[in-house]
Amino acid sequence: MGYRAFKELDWPLIIVTLILSGLGIIQVYSATNGTKWDGAWQKQIIWVITGLIMMWGIAVIGYQSLMGKVLYLYGGVIGLLFATTLIGNKVFGSTRWIRIGGFTLQPSEFVKIVLILAIARYLVEFVRPGTTLTWGDLGKLGFLVGFPMALVMKQPDLGTSLTYVPILVAGVLMAGLRWKQLLIICAALAVTLPIGYNLLKPYQRDRLVSFKYPERDPKGTGFQVIQSRIAVGNGGMWGRGAKESSQTHLGFLPVPHTDFIFSSFAEEHGFVGIVIALVLYFLLIMQVVQNAQTANDRAGLYVCMGVAALLLFHVLVNVGMVVGKMPITGIPLPLMSSGGSNTWSIFLMLGLVNGVRLRRFVN
Amino acid sequence: MAPENERARIQSSAPDVAYRDDPRDFAGKVAVFQYLTVLVFVFLVSGFWQLQVQDPEKYVEAAERNRIKSTPLLAARGKILDRDGRVIVDNRTSYSLLLNRDQIKAEHLPAISSALGLDYGDLAVAIRHNTRPQIIIKDQLTRDEIAWIEAHQDESAYPEMQLIQSWRRQYPQNGFAAHVTGYVGEISENDLNLPQFSEYHQGDIVGKDGLEKEYDKTLRGIDGQQRVQVDNFGHERQMETTQPAQPGQDLRTTLDLDLQAVAELAMQGKHGAVVALDPRSGEVLAMMSAPTFDPNKFTGRISRKDWNEIMNDPFKPLLNRATQAEFAPGSTFKPFTALAGLETGTINDETEFHCSGGASFYGNYYGCWKHTGHGNISLHRALRESCDVFFYNVANKLGIDRLAEYAEMAGFGSKTGIDLPNERESTMPSTKWKLRLSRQKWYAGETISVGIGQGAITVSPLELAVAEGGLGNRGKWMQPHLTFGTAPKVLRTGHFNPENVEKVIDGMYAVVNEPGGTGHNAALPGIKVCGKTGTAQLASNKFLKGTAAGRAMKDNAWFIAYAPEEAPEIVVVALFENGEHGDRAAWIVRDVMKAYFDKKERKAKGLELQTEIQDRLSATTLLPTHFAEAKPKE
């Protein structure tokens, strides 16, 4: 199928992806030029190119055969998460990375792909079409997602672990729940979330609430929220341009090339710039959803919707954090934030989506 | 499970359920997701709209505050110079500590205040009350304090601290000319609320007294700002536009340091005042008041101990006795009584009165200072020998209102309007004055004392100098002033019979130069000095009443003189408190006059100006403060 697959790839999706990656590389360059992260843009180019190759590879291999091997994949990522705990690099007090050869990997990023495949496989294999999920199904799915989530939270990496939730939610809602179940789940969450909040580490708790009242501790937990808002506001309608973006270039924005890349983008390109970027993200998600609608089978639909939900969650939480409407969770902006594992994991997901696309006319 | 089986099973199951495995069954749910996506993006765009389009100025300003660190560049105050351009008040560079408001951490304040010897409570209050982004908390840092600050201003310690260069006002030591120059200090809360201080800010240094206060707007400069771009770590990146400080203008005064130094030296260890004027223009050549104070102690923040010491001193060193203290003029007033008598025709130069050592008027006995009496005496001798009985009679014949008419022409009863703050008004009694003051009738008996400058009449040394100088100026009274180059201003002109004026002046010449005169101590060879002694009883010396009882019993000694007789260029008044007799003040006046004429002669001969001035000055300033010596034991 490889020879014709190239033409059959979802080119609108790939073009939007490439534009966003390009914007990301330019922004990484602009934001890190002359800082200690100088050169991050070159690495990002390498990650995007290798990511594109991975995307092609995954698209060709196809979601179906990957779903077939999902048990090994699941076992593999769980093993990597344990390995991270044992031999990982500790950075800023959390152990998220393992060193493989010359570079570091963040296994928790790849858990996302495996979870998308695992949930799709479960829903296809154990849930009959036309029926809704039983409490047993929910329990099993919950464990499937909850186990790696717990490991990642332990690192501790609350943000990444939370990104697994939209995959589960998308799968469960797509497969179908009865209203009664939905109500019970909502009620149960209403009770357990405050308890979970109290189990969080104090610094995580501070970050979760500080976006609401950053002025309480402008030098501490509120600092990033305040500085990000200032950067965005400083951009105004048309942006400050790459040279005048003082928040980005004078170090007031924390990590202006990773989690806060959109703040720096907003400062340099203004409201006009961010509307264009957000429209591109919107098109990206809609294109993924379109692939779900045209998927050949339920599995393809679950995969695409999992990817779409994950992308939407990432954009919502990251961009929401940048404008001070979401807590600081430290999850990156897909395609634009600099970082190897995250970039690869996004391209791998888009590879799954392209795989669905390639197979839409099969049978 | 073998992977091949897996794939086979999934694929093989597909055809069985093909009609139910159609993703189109999920269309409704997918649509819900799409709507949700639209909502999320609208929510996000609205967030950017608020920050970037609705209210960007707030954030642009915040970004500006982040990136620009502005440091005040303090403007130097103008110097105060003497008439020859010699520096009286100078500035010395020093260092001040300021705190950047947005970096202040409350928990740092106790450590900072204790290291710099500041009161923690005062510091906390000052920071709360001050609204500026940067607050100067200590001036005139010592070397040790600077070292401590430099060692503790990094990120890990107290990064809010910033050293800036500032200026310390430097006054001559030991209170030299202190009452004229005045002093500076931090603006007070009360002043800040006044409309005339609307341009001033908390923490500003302003003139508090003397010329520093009077000419504050001229002397103070405009502070500049140095703006530096900084990053989040406080590193300076690049200079932005710098607004340089505009130094204040120098103030050239009419004072002559040579004369001032002589006056200061002459008054060492005494209480009183010396004023020297040019009667033709009103230029003040010298003005001093003793005891004095050290204005250097007031610059910036005066210590509570020093402040209390000065405020509780019974001799009130802050008081400028030359302009703010009123004394009975005593016999120095007699020339005006004489002039009034001649001008009104009450007497002529032939008119004689008999002095038997005293005389009775209206049932009261009034003594003459010479208890043995002057015998039959006329105007010339009465002035020369300062016969009281003669002037009792003149005053009695004149009546208070005619006497007051002439005295008021000379300035008695009004201020001179000199350019110094808080000048006191002299008092010239009259029937109207008494009616206004106490709603009582004037009794003719009260006129008798006024005729010899006693009673309700009071005058400050400056006012007396202006009055006598105007007389020497043949009835033209000039407003005294301290700024060089100010156009002379005539206060009043008296249209007198020139012969009458000459008769009075001639009498004053006799005081110094004729046998029997009371002011021989003021004589200068080759210079026609006219003078008048005065010995004023302390009854009207209100401000010293009740202090140091033993000293208070003694009379104040006055001496006034102008020279040369035909066209006076200088008038000098010396008040020597508790000096007992006027001739004790005469040599003070003579010294100042001599300095003036010596300098004039040197100038005329083209010789170099006196260089001893420096020696004299250092002699003055190196001596211990005289008011400290004169302080009574407690």
Predicted pLDDT at A271: 94
Q: Which residue in B23, B48, B231 is closest to A295 by CB distance?
A: B23
Distance from chain centroid for Cα B495:
36
Element at B289 (helix H, strand E): strand B283-290
pLDDT (tens digit, 9 = 90+) per residue, B424-475?
999 999 999 999 988 989 998 899 999 999 989 999 999 999 999 999 999 9
What's the residue count for chain A? 363
For chain B, the average pLDDT equals 85
Of A349, A281, A322, A267, the closest CA to residue A19 belongs to A281
Q: Which two tokens stand for residue A362?
A: 């099969």
Q: Per-residue confidence at B237, pLDDT binned at 50, 70, 90?
A: confident
| HSE (side-chain half, CA atoms, 13 Å) at A6 | 3
B26 falls within a domain: no
Mean pLDDT for the stretch of residues B176-194: 88
Question: Is a pLDDT exceeding 90 seen at residue B624?
Answer: no
Residue B501, domain CATH: 3.40.710.10
Contact in structure between A285 and A316 (CB atoms under 8 Å): no
Q: Which residue in A247, A295, A319 is closest to B44 by CB distance?
A: A319
CA distance A269 to A26: 12
Question: Is a pLDDT exceeding 90 seen at residue A45?
Answer: yes
Inspect the interface and report whether the beta carbons of B51 and A300 lie closer than 8 Å: no
pLDDT (tens digit, 9 = 90+) per residue, A261-277?
999 999 999 999 999 99
Quick one: B275 and B366 in the same domain? yes
B52 falls within a domain: no
Residue B77, domain CATH: 3.90.1310.10
Q: Sign (positive/negative) of CA torsion B375, B378, B382, B384?
A: negative
Contact in structure between A262 and A319 (CB atoms under 8 Å): yes
Mean pLDDT for the stretch of residues B35-57: 93
ipTM of the complex: 0.93
Question: Is a pLDDT exceeding 70 seen at residue B496?
Answer: yes
Mean pLDDT for the stretch of residues A41-55: 94
Looking at the complex, report in whole angstroms how far the Cα of residue B6 sits from the nearest Cα belonging to chain A.
5
Assess A241–B contact: CB distance below 8 Å, yes or no: no
Burial class of residue B264, CB neighbours in 10 A (0-12, 13-18, 19+): buried
Quick one: B242 and B296 in the same domain? no
| Chain B positions in Cβ-Cβ contact with residue A297 (cut-off 8 Å) | 14, 21, 23
CA distance B493 to A83: 108
Q: Which amino acid is at B322?
A: A
Assess B35–A contact: CB distance below 8 Å, yes or no: no
Predicted pLDDT at B23: 60
| Chain B positions in Cβ-Cβ contact with residue A295 (cut-off 8 Å) | 23
Distance from chain centroid for Cα B584:
30
Quick one: B114 and B182 in the same domain? yes
CA distance B351 to A184: 128
Element at B252 (helix H, strand E): strand B251-252
Assess A292–B contact: CB distance below 8 Å, yes or no: yes
Which one of B192, B225, B252 terminates a domain? B252
Mean pLDDT for the stretch of residues B378-402: 95
CA distance A242 to B186: 46
B2 falls within a domain: no
Provide the b/e sequence for A207-243 (b: ≥16 CB within 10 Å): bbebbeebeeeeeebbbbbbbbbbbbbbbbeebbebe
Query: How big is the A-B interface in CB pairs under 8 Å?
Result: 165
| Chain A positions in Cβ-Cβ contact with residue B58 (cut-off 8 Å) | 233
Assess A300–B contact: CB distance below 8 Å, yes or no: yes
Quick one: B215 and B279 in the same domain? no
Which runs of E-coded beta strand occur in B439-485? 476-478
pLDDT (tens digit, 9 = 90+) per residue, B132-172?
778 888 888 888 888 998 888 887 888 888 888 888 888 98
DSSP B631: P
Inspect the interface and report whether the beta carbons of A299 and B10 lie closer than 8 Å: yes
Burial class of residue B462, CB neighbours in 10 A (0-12, 13-18, 19+): buried
A40-61 vs A340-358: helix crossing angle, rounded to 10: 30
Least confident of B90-94, B281-285, B337-341: B90-94
B624 falls within a domain: yes
Quick one: B293 and B233 in the same domain? no
Inspect the interface and report whether the beta carbons of A233 and B29 lie closer than 8 Å: no
Tally of domains within chain B: 2
CA distance B454 to B537: 7
CA distance A66 to A64: 5
Q: What is the pTM of this model?
A: 0.70
Quick one: B228 and B261 in the same domain? no
B4 falls within a domain: no
Element at B278 (helix H, strand E): strand B272-278
Quick one: B467 and B581 in the same domain? yes
B18 falls within a domain: no
Inspect the interface and report whether the beta carbons of B230 and A292 lie closer than 8 Å: no
Question: Which residues of chain A from 52 to 71 reach within 8 Å of chain B, CB to CB?
Answer: 64-65, 67-69, 71
| Chain B positions in Cβ-Cβ contact with residue A234 (cut-off 8 Å) | 56, 59-60, 62-63
| Chain A positions in Cβ-Cβ contact with residue B69 (cut-off 8 Å) | none
CA distance B614 to B258: 9
Residue B174's domain comprises 68-252
Assess A105–B contact: CB distance below 8 Å, yes or no: no
| Chain B positions in Cβ-Cβ contact with residue A249 (cut-off 8 Å) | 231
Quick one: B162 and B277 in the same domain? no
Looking at the complex, report in whole angstroms how far the Cα of residue A271 sits from the nearest Cα belonging to chain B.
6
CA distance B273 to B320: 8
B7 falls within a domain: no
Q: How far apart are the first and last CA of chain B?
A: 110
CA distance A165 to A75: 19
| HSE (side-chain half, CA atoms, 13 Å) at A340 | 15
Contact in structure between B438 and B456 (CB atoms under 8 Å): no
Quick one: B171 and B283 in the same domain? no
Provide the b/e sequence for B76-101 (b: ≥16 CB within 10 Å): bbbbbbbbeebebbbbeebbbbbbbe
Which one of B252, B283, B314 terminates a domain? B252
Inspect the interface and report whether the beta carbons of B52 and A270 lie closer than 8 Å: yes
CA distance A175 to A131: 8
Question: Which residues of chain B from 236 to 265 reach within 8 Å of chain A, CB to CB?
Answer: 237
CA distance B614 to B84: 14
CA distance A13 to B407: 106
Of B42, B101, B59, B268, the closest CA to residue B176 belongs to B268
Mean pLDDT for the stretch of residues B328-348: 94
Burial class of residue B408, CB neighbours in 10 A (0-12, 13-18, 19+): middle
Question: Is a pLDDT exceeding 60 seen at residue B412?
Answer: yes
Assess B233–A contact: CB distance below 8 Å, yes or no: yes
Inspect the interface and report whether the beta carbons of A129 and B37 lie closer than 8 Å: no
Looking at the complex, report in whole angstroms how far the Cα of residue B5 sits from the nearest Cα belonging to chain A.
8
Quick one: B242 and B353 in the same domain? no
Inspect the interface and report whether the beta carbons of B63 and A300 lie closer than 8 Å: no
Q: Sign (positive/negative) of CA torsion B323, B324, B325, B330?
A: positive
Assess B42–A contact: CB distance below 8 Å, yes or no: no
Question: Is a pLDDT exceeding 60 seen at residue B352?
Answer: yes
Burial class of residue A126, CB neighbours in 10 A (0-12, 13-18, 19+): middle
CA distance B67 to B122: 31
Inspect the interface and report whether the beta carbons of A65 and B3 lie closer than 8 Å: yes
Cβ contacts of residue A124 below 8 Å, gap of 6+?
A67, A297, A298, A299, A302, B10
Most confident of A150-164, A336-350, B63-77: A336-350
Quick one: B209 and B278 in the same domain? no
| Chain B positions in Cβ-Cβ contact with residue A235 (cut-off 8 Å) | 52, 56
Q: Sign (positive/negative) of CA torsion A88, A91, A96, A97?
A: negative
B501 falls within a domain: yes
Q: Is B225 helix (H, G, I), strand (E, B) or coil?
A: strand
- Bridging pattern class, strands B251-252 and B80-81: parallel
Alpha helices (H) in chain A, listed in sequence order: 2-8, 11-32, 40-61, 63-68, 70-87, 107-126, 135-154, 158-162, 164-175, 179-199, 202-210, 222-235, 241-244, 246-249, 261-293, 298-322, 340-358
Burial class of residue B414, CB neighbours in 10 A (0-12, 13-18, 19+): middle
Contact in structure between A320 and A281 (CB atoms under 8 Å): no
Question: Is a pLDDT exceeding 50 seen at residue B588?
Answer: yes
Tell whether omega for the bond before A256 is within 30 degrees of 0, i.e. cis: no
Quick one: B583 and B435 in the same domain? yes
Inspect the interface and report whether the beta carbons of A323 and B233 lie closer than 8 Å: no
Q: Per-residue confidence at A302, pLDDT binned at 50, 70, 90?
A: very high
Which one of B224, B252, B280 terminates a domain? B252
Assess B55–A contact: CB distance below 8 Å, yes or no: yes
| Chain B positions in Cβ-Cβ contact with residue A64 (cut-off 8 Å) | 7, 10-11
Looking at the complex, report in whole angstroms how far the Cα of residue B17 sits from the nearest Cα belonging to chain A.
8
| Chain B positions in Cβ-Cβ contact with residue A309 (cut-off 8 Å) | 33
Looking at the complex, report in whole angstroms how far the Cα of residue A41 sits from the nearest Cα belonging to chain B.
22
